[in-house]
Amino acid sequence: MAELKIYLSESLNEKFRRIAMRVYGYGRGSLSKAAEEAFTEWCSEHEHSLDSEKSAKRSETTHGNGSSEGESHINPDERENVRQEVGSFGEDKLNSTGSST
């Protein structure tokens, strides 16, 4: 499992802890269960809206704007993920030459 450190306002921290303990009990791991559930729901909600945006932007670029503009609309975090997936096989070569990107 991965560890993620986040900062919350005092009021949200207290509210989250109180509700997580009520739902999952006062034992070990209840905050993690509640946080994972919250992050899963948040990601799912935003993933659908991002997919809709991408479809709309793809249709815009397909209708005469050119493919180079399409890349500028990609979320920088997603662009990095795509680069990692596509370029992972050549990672050793990049590291041996000293290039960082």
DSSP 59-85: HHIIIII-HHHHHHTS-HHHHHHHHHH
pLDDT mean over 65-88: 56
pLDDT mean over 79-91: 56
Minimal CA–CA distance to 24: which of 13, 36, 14, 12? Answer: 36
**Which carries the bigger pLDDT value, residue 69 or residue 37?**
37
Q: What is the pLDDT of residue 70?
A: 46
Helical segments of 4-101, H only: 10-24, 30-60, 67-72, 76-87, 91-97
How far apart, in whole angstroms, are the C-alpha atoms of residue 84 and residue 78?
10
pTM of the model: 0.50
pLDDT mean over 56-74: 61
Per-residue pLDDT band for 67 (boundaries 50, 70, 90) equals very low
Judge whether 87 and 94 are in contact, CB under 8 Å.
Answer: yes
